[in-house]
Structure 1
Amino acid sequence: MTASDGAVTVVASGIRRTQAIVTQTVVTQAVVTQTVVTQTVGIEAVGAEAVGTRPFGGRLMIVLDEPSARPARGLVVCAHGLTGDRTGPVRLLADWSAALARAGWAVARLDLRGSGDSSGTFEEATLAQGVEDVLGATAWSRGAVAGTRGRPLPTVLAGISLGGLPAVGAAASVDPLAGVLLLSSDLLEAEHFAGAPTLFRDGEFHLSTAYLAERAALRPRAALASIGAPVRLVHGMDDPFVAPEVPALLELGISARGIPRCGHLFETPAARARLVELSLGFLRECVPEALERPARRPGSG
């Protein structure tokens, strides 16, 4: 369950933008897969002990962009990266979201708890919370998008950089799931996090040792096999983190599109325009036009 406090909606430039503080009252169910306990909903966590339900609470800041003159073709829910927020670096996510909304899609961007205007502190945030936040944002956004008549919109989960982890982790719990869109997300696994630093951005952000232990236990690449929907990676071809990992990700069955002459954050206007084009292309693959609206009854014209 989710509830919103004082949502504000503005219509301009072809999109309807709603900003809301959403209170989380959801309970998630831990799932046992053989001997592995999945506590982050879809990403295998090694060594977890408890099995059962876990209530959680908090406040999420969500911004929902949708077309102002027609029903949305589908819903995209996007998680930001480590130390980021719903706007993205130099408005990357805000501008990307608006462009997708003008093309007919509803796009929800959220501040994960511990970041931006959501509750909690960065030092106390967990990756499990991030999965819960994506699920909460998805539930609220499906109810908030105009013109759905109570039917759940086909949903694509997206994440940039580390935001790919909660997107992949939440995928198994979203129905109908149309796809997963990874932006500069390499889904690295445990062996890469031994001795990882706890201070980031010149000491401005601190990651707890508990967070690093949680991160080292995740198996996001293994979780890709259970998604059952298309997964697309879009990355800068000069990205020193993601580009070297593309061959391994392709072997796992995902598809990838590279953008030349840009790095991890699609730094140039041309790269960001291409990011929008590639994102829209993937969305159209995930939700073909014939599935956008209910079929007409015979004889209805």
Structure 2
Amino acid sequence: MSAARPLIEEPVFLGSGDERLFAFLHPAAQAARGTIVMCHAFAEEKLWSHRVYVTFAREAAQAGFNVLRFDMRGEGDSALDFEQSTIETRIEDTLRAIAAAKNRWSTHDVVLVGHRLGGSIAAVAQTRAASDVRAVAIWDPILDGEDYFGQLLRSNMTTQMATQGKVTRMRDALIKAILDGEVVVVDGYGLTADLYRGIAALRLAQREELFQGPALLIEVPKGEQNAPSEPLRVLASTRPRLQLALEAEPPFWRETKQFHKRAGGFTADTLEWLNGLTT
């Protein structure tokens, strides 16, 4: 086995102007065994997860994988304001990141590792990237985008209670307002009609083209759950190359009392699965 090299991290911009993506390249610290493109979570969840992503990229590079992590447009240091971005721009950005990774490390197939809504985007991007993507892994997958959007709106209702002493607009009223052209703010991020429609359309269990190749879905158990949930089991029953795992990972993608630097369970499961792909 080749000796490990010192870790190198290179910030780069892909493209320019309204197309510009900010990315970090993490070359493998030893003879490369594959290439990973990371797809981050959405809005505030991305913010709280940033340190975990950095740690995972470094650990994967140390384990022999090239890693490209990037900011989708509308978030981080990439182009566009948040309200200008859509699910489609995020899918396009993922495809551009895949192409950049292939160009930089030309001899290795790409594996997408996505978190939360970023995992949904990765799954769709894989179907469009054809042979450029070998497999996809998703941390805490979101199967139903409509339900996820409703979860986002709960934060707005909490803000209503804090500022007005009562909730004056419930979920359905907020969605109607968004579809009528209002930008509804959740945790400082403006949710638009285009974002709502794009997220609501991400119903992974209903899309037969997804997860036909190697895939790993790592679920976070709820309550006393000790096995993958029924929706995931049903999904896996028709996709023989889909693997399921369960990890009681703390919700580092939310504001918690503890600062989370790494996701030990997600990382271990993902690297073990990747090792299986490369042997």
Q: TM-score normalised to the size of structure 1?
A: 0.68
Instruction: Give me the whole-angstrom Cα distance separating, in 1, the residues matched to 2:249 and 2:120.
Output: 26
- Identify the residue that residue 138 of structure 2 maps to in structure 1: 182
- Identify the residue that residue 217 of structure 2 maps to in structure 1: 233
Instruction: Give me the whole-angstrom Cα distance separating, in 1, the residues matched to 2:204 and 2:228.
Output: 14
Instruction: Give me the whole-angstrom Cα distance separating, in 2, the residues matched to 1:243 and 1:265.
Output: 22
Instruction: Give me the whole-angstrom Cα distance separating, in 2, the residues matched to 1:220 and 1:77.
Output: 20
- Identify the residue that residue 14 of structure 1 maps to in structure 2: 6
- Identify the residue that residue 277 of structure 2 maps to in structure 1: 286
- Identify the residue that residue 110 of structure 1 maps to in structure 2: 70
Instruction: Give me the whole-angstrom Cα distance separating, in 1, the residues matched to 2:147 and 2:96.
Output: 30
For the Cα contact (< 8 Å) 1:236–1:264, is it kept in 2? Answer: no
Which secondary structure does the structure 1 equivalent of 2:64 belong to?
coil
Q: Report the CA distance between 1:255 and its aligned residue.
A: 2.5
Matched, 1:99 2:82: no
Matching residue's letter, 2:49: P
Change beyond 3 A, Cα 1:87–1:94:
farther
For the Cα contact (< 8 Å) 1:168–1:180, is it kept in 2? Answer: yes
Q: Which has the larger helix fraction?
A: 2
Deviations 1:150-176 (A, max 9, x none): 43x121112111101210111013324
Deviations 1:79-106 (A, max 9, x none): 1111158775250100011001100011
Q: Report the CA distance between 1:120 and its aligned residue.
A: 0.2
- Identify the residue that residue 120 of structure 1 maps to in structure 2: 80
For the Cα contact (< 8 Å) 1:168–1:223, is it kept in 2? Answer: no
Which stretch of the first structure deviates more once superposed, 187-196 or 276-285? 187-196
Q: How does 1:1-301 map to 2 (within 5 A)?
A: 14-23=6-15, 58-68=19-29, 70-84=30-44, 89=49, 91-145=51-105, 150-151=106-107, 153-174=108-129, 175-190=131-146, 193=149, 195=172, 198-201=184-187, 204-223=188-207, 225-238=209-222, 246-253=229-236, 254-260=242-248, 262-263=250-251, 265=253, 272-288=263-279
Q: Report the CA distance between 1:274 and its aligned residue.
A: 2.4
For the Cα contact (< 8 Å) 1:86–1:109, is it kept in 2? Answer: no
Gaps of 5+ in 2: 151-171, 176-183, 237-241
For the Cα contact (< 8 Å) 1:199–1:205, is it kept in 2? Answer: yes
Matching residue's letter, 1:116: G
Matched residue pairs, number?
A: 237
Gaps of 5+ in 1: 1-11, 26-56, 289-301
Instruction: Give me the whole-angstrom Cα distance separating, in 1, the residues matched to 2:268 and 2:22.
Output: 27
Q: Report the CA distance between 1:16 and its aligned residue.
A: 2.2
Change beyond 3 A, Cα 1:144–1:256:
same
Matching residue's letter, 1:199: V
Change beyond 3 A, Cα 1:243–1:208:
farther
Instruction: Give me the whole-angstrom Cα distance separating, in 2, the residues matched to 1:239 and 1:287.
Output: 35
Q: Report the CA distance between 1:239 and its aligned residue.
A: 8.3
Which secondary structure does the structure 1 equivalent of 2:128 belong to?
coil
Q: Report the CA distance between 1:193 and its aligned residue.
A: 4.8
Instruction: Give me the whole-angstrom Cα distance separating, in 2, the residues matched to 1:243 and 1:206.
Output: 37
For the Cα contact (< 8 Å) 2:55–2:261, is it kept in 1? Answer: no
For the Cα contact (< 8 Å) 1:77–1:138, is it kept in 2? Answer: yes
Q: TM-score normalised to the size of structure 2?
A: 0.73
Which secondary structure does the structure 1 equivalent of 2:58 belong to?
helix
Instruction: Give me the whole-angstrom Cα distance separating, in 1, the residues matched to 2:96 and 2:251.
Output: 31
Matching residue's letter, 1:251: V
Matching residue's letter, 2:248: P
Q: Report the CA distance between 1:142 and its aligned residue.
A: 1.6
